[in-house]
Amino acid sequence: MSAAGVEGWNFATRQVHAGVEPEGTHHPRATPVYLTAGFVFDDFDQASARFAGTDDGHAYTRVSNPTHAALERRIAALEGGSGATFLGSGQAAVSTALLALAATGDHIVAASSLYEGSRELLRENFARLGIDVTFVARTRDLEAWEAAITPRTKALFAETIPNPKNDLLDIAGVADIAHRAGVPLVVDNTLASPYLLRPIEHGADIVVHSASKFLSGHGTVLGGLVVDGGSFEWARDPARYPHLAVERGIDGRTLLERAGQGAYLEYVRTLAMRFGPAASPLNAFLILQGIETLSLRVQRQSDSALALARWLERQPEVESVDYSGLDSSPHRDLARRYLPRGQGSVFGFTVRGGRPAAEATVNSLELFTRMTHLGDVRSLVLHPGSTTHVLRTEDDRLASGIDPGLLRLSIGVEDPEDLIRDLAQALAVGRAAMVQAAGTR
């Protein structure tokens, strides 16, 4: 079934059927894993045609592979995009998606609440390549986005659900500003997954995913995806994207003339082919299998997260909870607008007593796994101040709301009662540590 053929089906049906193409002589029901480096050319002419791109068969797995293609069609169908590219990791997806837009001398405007890996990539590595980045701290301030854009700006970049503070993005608002400036909005939709939120429906142009999280769902493999919404007008200001709209290939045509609306994704594929952040077909298979239960897992995880966030908010050991599903959240209005099915399952909460209380709480948890990952079927806990955000200065951490007592949870599919019981006993140990620390001061 092609991506186009599933348009009439609802999400839970598409997650099982989209992208599947019964191939070969045996007609397997599951998507086969084409674990092969290369593909046979029938004859001399076919080899030449594959290289010329006039025959759409596969040649070499770094460039394309049928298992990857099935995953690409499925995620495009779920996000409502025109196509997608599968890469080796979420970081590969972020870096490739942005490098396909910006080069030396160019500029990107990004939310400062990014995943730390992406933030460091932009702040340090893109800077070394001569790509400047302006970070917008107050992402709800649409004028701040607008004011940061320059004639050299090639992309706006943000996450739909940032963690650990859940300071949601006003996708439509920022997309409007991007489009008025003639620039695409690129969003990382990892934490929402297309089940909870489809950013292209709200005006985003390009969506990236770490498929290592909710899409795979079981914490077993890495993968990344770049999805093109297919409607950004690259030809409106050709000089802004010369590699797509001005420079001519050996056939005398621009990429836009050759690939039409597929030009951006075609360029992403070229970068992936040349820089080489290739994925494994086995990982594509495991991610396809994970996606088949996406709506079931994410609904359950999101419902449990809301129950836990509400419970945590009532505990005397807890100072605050950053979950956009709570009435106390300053982002509740955006959650109502963009996340009506559920507000996700990764959030932060701050224990009273700072680092000693946080440390004792983390060390006492028995069911939660201490691990730096998220979107797993198992519940996970992390202390951002001493792990993900350790490269920031203390002032910078505090300015971003990363208090020494802040803990990040990723809620799995376990029974929420058991998770609450585990948190209750760990918070009691944390409280004892706080009392003891106060006594010795």
For residue 186, with 0-12 CB atoms within 10 Å meaning exposed, 13-18 middle and 19 or more buried, which class applies?
buried
Task: Determine which helix (DSSP H) or strand (DSSP E) holds 282, and give its type and residue range.
Answer: helix 281-291
Task: Establish how many alpha carbons lie within 13 A of residue 389's alpha carbon, considering only the half-sphere containing its beta carbon.
Answer: 26
Residue 155 gets the label, from left (phi > 0), alpha (psi -120 to 50) or beta, of beta
The letter for the amino acid at 236 is: R
* CB of 134 closer than 8 Å to CB of 109: yes
- Residue of this chain nearest to ligand PLP (CB atom): 90
Q: Which residues lie below 8 Å from residue 332, measured CB to CB, with a gap of 6+?
A: 324, 325, 326
Q: How far apart are CA 210 and CA 216, in angstroms?
A: 9
For ligand PLP, give the closer residue by CB, 117 or 182.
117
Residue from 89, 95, 261, 315 that binds ligand PLP (CB under 6 A)?
89
Residue from 95, 160, 212, 216 that binds ligand PLP (CB under 6 A)?
212
For ligand PLP, give the closer residue by CB, 61 or 91.
91
Piece of the chain touching ligand PLP by CB under 6 A; list 207-215, 315-323, 391-399, 414-422: 207-215
Instruction: Scan residues 174-193 and list those touching ligand PLP (CB under 6 A).
Output: 188, 190-191
Instruction: Scan residues 346-385 and list those touching ligand PLP (CB under 6 A).
Output: 374
Contact flags string 217-236 toward ligand PLP, x per CB under 6 A: -----x-x------------
194 binds ligand PLP (CB under 6 A): no
For ligand PLP, give the closer residue by CB, 374 or 427.
374
For residue 407, with 0-12 CB atoms within 10 Å meaning exposed, 13-18 middle and 19 or more buried, which class applies?
buried
For ligand PLP, give the closer residue by CB, 6 or 204.
204
For ligand PLP, give the closer residue by CB, 77 or 192.
192
Residue from 67, 82, 91, 343 that binds ligand PLP (CB under 6 A)?
91
Q: How far apart are CA 84 and CA 276, in angstroms?
A: 17
Instruction: Scan residues 115-174 and list those touching ligand PLP (CB under 6 A).
Output: 115, 117-118, 159
Query: Would you tell me which residues interact with ligand PLP (CB under 6 A)?
Result: 89-91, 94, 115, 117-118, 159, 188, 190-191, 210, 212-213, 222, 224, 374
